[in-house]
Chains A and B, each alone.
Chain A
Amino acid sequence: MPTVALGLLLALGLQAGAPAASEAGAQPGSGAPARVLAWLEEADASLGGAPAGDPAGATGWIDTAKLPTLITALLFGLLMFRYQRRAARGVEIPIRRIPGLDAIDEAIGRATEMGRPVLYVPGIDEIKEIQTIYSMMILRHVARKTAEFGTTLIVPVRDSIVMTFAEEAVKGGCMDAGRPDAFVKDNIRYLSNEQFAYCAGVAGIMAREKPAANLMLGMFFAESLILAETGFMSGAIQVAGTAKQHQLPFFVAACDYTIMGEEYFAVTAYLTREPNLLGTIRAGDVLKILAVALLVAGIVLATVHALSADPAAPGWADVLRKLLAAGGGGGSA
């Protein structure tokens, strides 16, 4: 965990300007935190940092209020590229198996038992949306499974470019399963470009071909509700997944299993072992733990200080807040 210690040191060691010095800490008290705060503010002024209350007033070559953002970006970049290189060299980055993946395999298994098709909806956004690209990777995994079990796989799409990517993914999946003949081109169907007409098309497939498993993975908008409801009514086992939180409530309420938020990226990383993605997720985890460490330290310091004899004087929590360029001291979190 040397990187975490390094990160902590970096964030605490380097000084940073603050757009608005916390009112509580303004007057120089006697304690050590007050001296540190005074030294930080004086260093700010010498570097031409933005004076308090005027975030856009920086005159120096670097806007000191933005140093924490620079440190965070550099730290994250270093970690990401380091882990990407290690992953590319084959060093095992342990990524926990998301239960959602088991739900997908279970759904495909049930569909095979009942001899009915699997329906895969890759979201309704274009290919430039990152979730649609990752949905293609998950589709390849699903296509491999359905090819192995000899189950029909239907992929309705809303965008002609996504259709070509979906065909590639399913063809690749069939190849992975060693059954190139399992690929059926007209099971990848372009229904309509209009949101609700697309849902009507998917509902038609559910009614006519009665898929036993509905997999809905990708970027969804207001129509997620209609797809989840129609799928539930057709009696299919449903697994949904999207990174955008606004559609998750409806998927959780109407589907058997939901892959939520960042789990969506973890599922893709688990399936594809793609170094870039593994490196990003690992670096993200480290930064989250660093953020939690900073939070806990700050809260403990702030609480101890608030209970101390002289809560008005600046405490170490105010130093930490200044280092993170946070706003005024008052107000709830």
Chain B
Amino acid sequence: MASVIANFDRRWIFLAVGLLVVSLYAAGISSELPESEYVRDFHATLEALPPGAIVLLSADFDPASAAELLPMYQGVIHHLFARDLRIVNVATWPAAPPFTQKEFARIAPLYGKTYGVDWVELGFLPGDDVAMGSIGQSLRSAYPRDDRRTSWADLPLLADVGDNMRGISLLITASAGYPGILEWIAQVGGRYDVTLLAGTTAVQTPDLFAFYPLQLKGFLGAATGATQYLQLAAPLAARLPTGEGALDEVRDENQRRMLVQSWAHILILALIVVGNVIYFRTRVPTGAARR
């Protein structure tokens, strides 16, 4: 084995990655991204909805994937409220509700939205695929009460939601893995008349190209997809009392991270190349190398 690599302590690489990320992030330079086709489709599908339409927004993520998905989730809430769309919020991952409650509590007042009329939080439903099958077939039996234990009678928005996804024109999921967008496609996409959109973590993004665009109208892939979408959604968001757009801070933060992302990728590519160069130059020439 190459002696150079064998006794090279990998903690130097850890240090290099840590220093690169901290220093570049502190530099705070942000960069704009061109929007991919699937991000533009995601945005266009939202724009095409008539005001007052009901959207089922599902939080299928946890703290480990919040870094990529929470900015998308905030952007979607702003975009939906800005276009006067009504939101039914559910979650199939147990660790998601605290995130969604906090975002709705922060964003809804900016658009003067009232709970029960403009949005409803139904909370976490256990069972993975079974939870999605239950939501698809009948939201009423899936959730006897909302997340604040008020019954359906006191939630005017839910009066317009029937069974078999009647009344719901669009389903958006912030999907971190299983259960996520692939299970929504299987349990709801093929059975009911509802359009599907997804925001996914980087790990799951390649899977979506098998379903895009016919079974999945559009999607936001990874932190880069989030940044591209925020660039489209920020101008639509409400103005803060200070005159700044409500989404500008989140968009700028994501754009600031793109530069760090870029150089981290360059570092990893360099490590692969250098590692291979050393490996091939010092490999035992007697052909004893493994296949």
Contact = CB atoms under 8 A, between A and B. Distances in A.
Chains A and B come from one and the same complex:
yes
Interface of A: 19, 53-57, 233, 235, 237, 246, 256-257, 326-328, 331-332
B213 A54 contact: no
A233 B275 CA distance: 12
A54 B203 contact: no
A57 B193 CA distance: 9
Interface string B207-219: 0000001110000
A233 B3 CA distance: 11
B282 to A, nearest CB: 13
Nearest to B212: A332
B166 interface: yes
Given A246-B203, A327-B214, A331-B214, A56 B1 contact: no
Contact of B191 (A55, A246, A257): A55
B165 interface: yes
Contact of A331 (B1, B213, B291): B213
B132 to A, nearest CB: 15
Given A237-B290, A331-B214, A332-B213, A56 B192 contact: yes
A257 B193 CA distance: 45
Interface of B: 1, 5-6, 164-166, 190-193, 203, 213-215, 290-291
A276 B189 CA distance: 32
B165 A56 contact: yes
Nearest to B213: A331
B1 A235 contact: yes
13 contacts: A19-B193, A55-B190, A56-B164, A56-B165, A56-B191, A56-B193, A233-B6, A235-B1, A246-B203, A256-B291, A257-B291, A327-B214, A331-B213
A55 B6 contact: no
Contact of B192 (A55, A257, A332): A55
B193 A55 contact: yes
Contacts of A56: 164-166, 191-193
Contact of B290 (A54, A55, A256, A327): A256
Contacts of B191: 55-56
A328 B215 CA distance: 10
Nearest to B217: A331
Contacts of A328: 214
Given A233-B6, A246-B203, A256-B290, A53 B214 contact: no
Given A53-B193, A57-B193, A235-B6, 12 more contacts: A19-B193, A55-B193, A233-B1, A233-B6, A235-B1, A256-B291, A326-B214, A327-B214, A327-B215, A328-B214, A331-B214, A332-B213
Nearest to A256: B290
Contacts of B5: 233
A152 to B, nearest CB: 21
A57 B214 CA distance: 21
Contacts of A233: 1, 5-6
Nearest to B177: A246
B190 to A, nearest CB: 8
Contacts of B165: 56
A246 B204 CA distance: 8
A327 B215 CA distance: 8
Nearest to B8: A233
Question: Which of A56, A256, A257, A327 has the most chain B CB atoms inside 10 A of its CB?
Answer: A56
Nearest to A19: B193
A55 B203 CA distance: 31
A246 B180 CA distance: 15
B170 to A, nearest CB: 15
Contacts of A19: 193
Contacts of B192: 55-56
State the 7 A-B residue pairs at the shortest beta-carbon distance, nearest first. A56-B164, A235-B1, A56-B192, A327-B214, A331-B214, A55-B193, A256-B290
A317 to B, nearest CB: 15
B235 to A, nearest CB: 29
A237 B164 CA distance: 54
A16 B43 CA distance: 34
Contacts of B290: 237, 256
A55 B191 CA distance: 6
Contacts of A57: 193
A63 B213 CA distance: 25
Nearest to B5: A233
Contacts of B166: 56
A218 to B, nearest CB: 17
A200 B79 CA distance: 45
A327 B212 CA distance: 12
A255 to B, nearest CB: 10
A321 to B, nearest CB: 11
A19 B214 CA distance: 13
Question: Which of B166, B203, B290, B291 has the most chain A CB atoms inside 10 A of its CB?
Answer: B290
